[in-house]
Structure 1
Amino acid sequence: MPEGDTVWRTAQRLHAALAGRVIVEADLRWPEISTADLRGRSTLEVVSRGKHVLHRIEGGVTLHSHLRMEGQWRVEATPTLAERWRRNPQLRALVSAPDWTALGLRLGMLDLVPTAREGDLVGHLGPDVLGPDWDRDRAVGNVLAAPVPIGAALLDQRNLAGVGTMWCAETLFLERVQPWALPADLGREGVERVVDRAHRLIDQGRHHAVQSSTGSRRLDEAHYVHARSGRPCRRCGTTVRVAPIGVPPQERTMFYCPTCQGGLGPTDDGRRQNPLGSSGGARRSRRSY
Structure 2
Amino acid sequence: MPEGDTVWRAAHLLHRALAGNSLTRCEFRVPALATTDLTGRIVTEAVSRGKHLLIRFDNGWSLHSHLRMEGSWRIFADGRRWNGGPSHEIRAVLGVPGSTAVGYRLGVLELVRTDQESAVVGHLGPDLLGPEWDLAEAVRRLRAEPDRAIGEALLDQRNLAGIGTVYRAEILFLQGIHPRTPVGQVRDLERLCERVRQLLIMNRSGFEQNTTGDRRPGRSHWVYGRAGRECRRCGTAIAMEEFGPYGQERVSYWCPHCQPLRPG
Structure 2 distance, partners of 1:84, 1:252, is 30
Count of residue pairs the alignment pairs up: 261
Secondary structure (helix, strand or coil) at the match of 1:37 reads coil
For the structure 1 residues 198 and 83, does the alpha-carbon distance in structure 2 shift closer, same or farther, using more than 3 Å as the test? closer
Matches within 5 A, 1:1-289: 1-78=1-78, 80-82=79-81, 88-146=87-145, 147-187=147-187, 190-263=188-261
Structure 2 distance, partners of 1:69, 1:83, is 21
Question: What RMSD in Å do the two structures reach over aligned CA positions?
Answer: 1.7
Secondary structure (helix, strand or coil) at the match of 1:200 reads helix
For the structure 1 residues 69 and 218, does the alpha-carbon distance in structure 2 shift closer, same or farther, using more than 3 Å as the test? farther
Structure 2 distance, partners of 1:83, 1:8, is 22
Secondary structure (helix, strand or coil) at the match of 2:5 reads helix
Q: Residues 23 and 42 of structure 1 are in contact (CA less than 8 Å); yes or no, is this contact kept in structure 2?
A: yes
Structure 2 distance, partners of 1:136, 1:260, is 26
Q: Residues 181 and 261 of structure 2 are in contact (CA less than 8 Å); yes or no, is this contact kept in structure 1?
A: no
Secondary structure (helix, strand or coil) at the match of 2:240 reads strand
Structure 1 distance, partners of 2:221, 2:60, is 42
Structure 1 distance, partners of 2:38, 2:213, is 43
Letter in 1 for 2:51: K
Structure 2 distance, partners of 1:84, 1:186, is 45
Task: List, as ranges, runs of 4+ consecutive aligned residues in structure 1 with deviation greater than 2 Å.
Answer: 81-87
Structure 1 distance, partners of 2:261, 2:162, is 27
Secondary structure (helix, strand or coil) at the match of 2:184 reads helix
Q: Residues 84 and 104 of structure 2 are in contact (CA less than 8 Å); yes or no, is this contact kept in structure 1?
A: no
Q: Residues 28 and 34 of structure 1 are in contact (CA less than 8 Å); yes or no, is this contact kept in structure 2?
A: yes
Q: Residues 140 and 191 of structure 1 are in contact (CA less than 8 Å); yes or no, is this contact kept in structure 2?
A: yes
Structure 2 distance, partners of 1:176, 1:92, is 42
Structure 1 distance, partners of 2:50, 2:121, is 9
Gaps of 5+ in 1: 265-289
Identity %: 47
- Distance apart, 1:143 and its partner CA: 1.1
Secondary structure (helix, strand or coil) at the match of 1:89 reads helix
Letter in 2 for 1:116: D
Structure 2 distance, partners of 1:218, 1:103, is 32
**Per-residue Cα deviation, 1:242-271 (whole angstroms, up to 9, x for no partner):** 11121110111111111110059xxxxxxx
Q: Residues 85 and 104 of structure 2 are in contact (CA less than 8 Å); yes or no, is this contact kept in structure 1?
A: no
Structure 1 window deviating more from structure 2 (46-55 vs 237-246): it is: 237-246
Structure 1 distance, partners of 2:191, 2:89, is 41
Secondary structure (helix, strand or coil) at the match of 2:189 reads helix
For the structure 1 residues 242 and 83, does the alpha-carbon distance in structure 2 shift closer, same or farther, using more than 3 Å as the test? closer
Structure 1 distance, partners of 2:83, 2:207, is 26
- Distance apart, 1:82 and its partner CA: 3.8
Structure 1 distance, partners of 2:53, 2:157, is 15
Secondary structure (helix, strand or coil) at the match of 1:154 reads helix
Secondary structure (helix, strand or coil) at the match of 1:55 reads strand
Q: Residues 74 and 84 of structure 2 are in contact (CA less than 8 Å); yes or no, is this contact kept in structure 1?
A: no
Letter in 2 for 1:236: C
Gaps of 5+ in 2: none
Q: Residues 145 and 184 of structure 1 are in contact (CA less than 8 Å); yes or no, is this contact kept in structure 2?
A: no
**Per-residue Cα deviation, 1:210-245 (whole angstroms, up to 9, x for no partner):** 111100233411000000111110011011111112
- Distance apart, 1:35 and its partner CA: 0.8
**Per-residue Cα deviation, 1:110-160 (whole angstroms, up to 9, x for no partner):** 011111111100000000000022100110111122242001111100000
- Distance apart, 1:87 and its partner CA: 6.8
Aligned to 1:275: none
Aligned to 1:267: none
Structure 1 window deviating more from structure 2 (246-255 vs 210-219): it is: 210-219
- Distance apart, 1:84 and its partner CA: 8.0
Structure 2 distance, partners of 1:59, 1:218, is 48
